[in-house]
C-alpha cells in the first residue's frame, strides 16, 4: 500500500494546517474537552483524506479476452446504447460509480494501442445521473486491441470530483491493468464493449480495478 502521487501535496498541506491549528488552539480560551474533541476531529479528517489517496499494489492477471474493471466501485449501469463520440455504433455500456471511500486509481481495462484521447469540459451532475456520461466533464479514451477491436473508456467527473487526471497519450502501447489515470473525490468510469460480449457482472455488484472481469470478448 502506498499514497498516490495526486494526494501527496494535498496531505502535506493538510497536515501542516491541522498541526498549526491544533497547536494554536491551546493558546485560546477553549476548554480541555473542546481541545480533545478538536484533536479527534482533526485526526479523523486526516485519516479520511489519507484513505482516499491510498494506492494498493495488486496482481494483474492479463487475459486478452477479458475486459477488466477500470476502477473500484459499484456497477450502476449495464445497458445497450449508441456510442456516438467515436465508435458510432451500438455497444453495451457498463458504468462503475466510485464513492469517496473507494480507491480512485483508474486502470486500463484492456491492453493495446491508445488510438484516441479527448478531454471534454462540462457540467458536474451527480455521477450516477443518466446524462453525466455525455454532459459532465469527462475524458474519452479508445484502446485498439491486436485484432483491431476497439474498446472505449470514459472518465466522468461527478458533483464533487473536479480533477480528472490521465497519464497516457495517443499512440501509447499500454498494458492491461496498468494505471492510466485518477479522479479526485467521487466519480464514475464507463466502458463500452461489443454487443456479443459475455457480461460477467450484475447491477450493484462491487468491483476491484484491475481485478474484476466485467466481460469476456467473443
Q: How are strands ordered across the β-sheet holding 198-199?
A: 66-68, 213-216, 198-199
Distance of CA 131 to the CA centre of its chain: 18
**Is residue 37 helix, strand or coil?**
helix
CB distance 122 to 109 below 8 Å: no
Active-site residue, selected from the candidate residues 42, 132, 133, 187: 187
Which residues are registered as beta bridge partners of 120? 138
Tell me how far apart the alpha carbons of residues 124 and 111 are, in angstroms, rounded to a whole number: 30
What's the grid cell of residue 168? 497516457
Active-site residue, 187 included: yes
Per-residue cell: 88:
458510432
Q: Give the strand pairing for 112-120 and 138-144.
A: antiparallel
What's the angle, vertex CA 211, arms to CA 205 and CA 215, rounded to 5?
Answer: 65
Place of cell 479508445: 142
Q: Which residues are annotated as catalytic? A: 187
Amino acid at each position: 500500500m502506498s499514497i498516490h502521487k495526486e494526494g501527496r501535496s494535498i496531505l502535506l498541506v493538510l497536515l501542516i494546517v491541522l498541526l498549526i491549528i491544533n497547536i494554536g488552539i491551546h493558546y485560546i480560551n477553549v476548554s480541555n474537552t473542546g481541545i480533545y474533541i478538536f484533536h479527534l476531529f482533526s485526526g479523523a479528517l486526516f485519516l479520511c483524506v489519507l484513505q482516499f489517496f491510498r494506492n494498493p499494489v495488486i496482481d494483474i492477471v492479463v487475459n486478452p479476452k477479458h475486459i477488466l474493471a477500470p476502477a473500484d466501485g459499484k456497477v450502476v449501469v449495464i445497458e445497450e446504447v449508441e456510442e456516438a463520440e467515436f465508435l458510432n455504433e451500438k455497444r453495451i455500456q457498463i458504468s462503475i460509480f466510485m464513492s469517496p471511500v473507494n480507491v480512485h486509481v483508474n486502470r486500463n481495462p484492456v491492453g493495446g494501442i491508445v488510438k484516441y484521447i479527448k478531454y471534454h469540459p462540462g457540467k458536474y451532475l451527480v455521477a450516477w445521473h443518466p446524462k453525466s456520461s455525455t454532459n459532465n466533464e469527462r475524458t474519452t479514451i479508445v484502446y485498439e486491441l491486436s485484432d483491431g477491436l476497439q474498446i472505449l473508456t470514459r472518465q466522468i467527473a461527478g458533483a464533487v470530483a473536479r480533477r480528472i487526471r490521465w497519464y497516457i497519450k495517443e499512440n501509447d502501447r499500454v498494458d492491461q491493468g496498468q494505471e492510466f489515470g485518477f479522479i479526485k473525490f467521487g466519480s464514475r468510469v464507463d466502458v463500452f464493449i461489443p454487443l456479443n460480449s459475455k457480461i460477467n457482472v450484475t447491477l450493484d455488484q462491487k468491483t476491484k480495478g484491475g481485478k474484476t472481469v466485467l466481460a469476456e470478448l467473443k
